[in-house]
């Protein structure tokens, strides 16, 4: 259970990478507060599903692939927003689709990055000439599954966060206008085993906030 969200009065959603702990307040995290009955309904429905399957076995990959859940999308004022829940919604595929749309740039910040599928997508985009840069938590980059070395070897400007703070973010910013965030680390476990949420927000002002945070950590 790796989600981090709260639904208030069926009208607001609080989500992001932030766990409700004292340590999280000191670490690098992001927190979204969104006032939307539509989004609140998506998260409330997921919460009810979590309660129902509390004692059930996690769905198999095949079962997830065959799931026909309706897309969870809404327009907030003029901002398109999508929500995906792992493992049933195929979060990895949703993130990959957004990366494939990139035309100019991709930046990312991740606590752990072990997904060969998403790493390959970033490598392909860099080979096409896009600006691709990222930052990964240093304590996870030594894993044999980490894609840090592979991305660095393929001309992606990826750094390890080296301060005393934990780099706990999980976000991508695409073409300075699309934000992908939530509880989802780019790992196979997050996609197939964990309970996670991914939120995709197409809004330049929101993207600027995440770019500012990225520049602060990356610099």
Question: What is the rounded distance in angstroms from the CA atom of residue 115 to the CA atom of residue 80?
Answer: 26
Cα–Cα distances in angstroms (integers) from residue 127 to residues 45, 94, 106, 122, in the given order = 41, 22, 13, 9
- Find out whether the peptide bond into 87 is cis, omega within 30 degrees of 0: yes
The whole-angstrom separation of Cα 56 and Cα 69 is: 19
Is-catalytic flag, 175? yes
Q: In what order do the strands lie in the sheet with 5-8?
A: 5-8, 12-16, 31-35
Question: Residue 31 and residue 181: Cα distance in Å, rounded?
Answer: 10
Residue 168 known to be catalytic: yes
Active site residue 195: no
The Cα–Cα gap between 123 and 192 comes to 23
The one catalytic residue among 72, 148, 170, 202:
170
Task: Exactly one of 4, 125, 148, 168 is catalytic; name it.
Answer: 168
Cβ partners under 8 Å of residue 104, min gap 6: 130, 131, 175, 176
Q: Which residues are catalytic?
A: 168, 170, 175
């Amino acid at each position: 259970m790796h989600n981090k969200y709260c639904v208030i009065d069926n009208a607001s959603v609080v989500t992001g990478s932030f766990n409700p702990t004292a340590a999280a307040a000191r670490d690098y995290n992001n927190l979204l507060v969104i006032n939307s009955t539509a989004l609140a309904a998506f998260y409330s429905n997921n919460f009810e599903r979590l309660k129902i399957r509390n004692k059930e076995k996690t769905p198999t990959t095949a079962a997830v692939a065959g799931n026909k859940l309706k897309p969870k999308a809404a327009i907030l004022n003029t901002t398109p927003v999508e929500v995906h829940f792992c493992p049933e919604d195929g979060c990895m595929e949703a993130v990959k689709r957004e990366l494939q749309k990139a035309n100019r740039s991709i930046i990312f910040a991740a606590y752990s990055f072990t997904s060969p599928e998403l790493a390959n997508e970033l490598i392909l985009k860099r080979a096409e000439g896009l600006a691709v840069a990222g930052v990964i938590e240093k304590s996870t980059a030594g894993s044999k599954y980490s894609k840090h070395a592979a991305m660095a070897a393929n001309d992606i400007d990826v750094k390890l966060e080296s301060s005393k703070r934990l780099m706990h973010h999980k976000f991508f910013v695409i073409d300075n206008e699309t934000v992908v965030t939530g509880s989802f680390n780019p790992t196979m476990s997050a996609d197939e085993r964990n309970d996670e949420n991914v939120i995709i927000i197409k809004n330049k002002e929101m993207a600027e906030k995440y770019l500012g945070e990225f520049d602060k950590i990356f610099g």
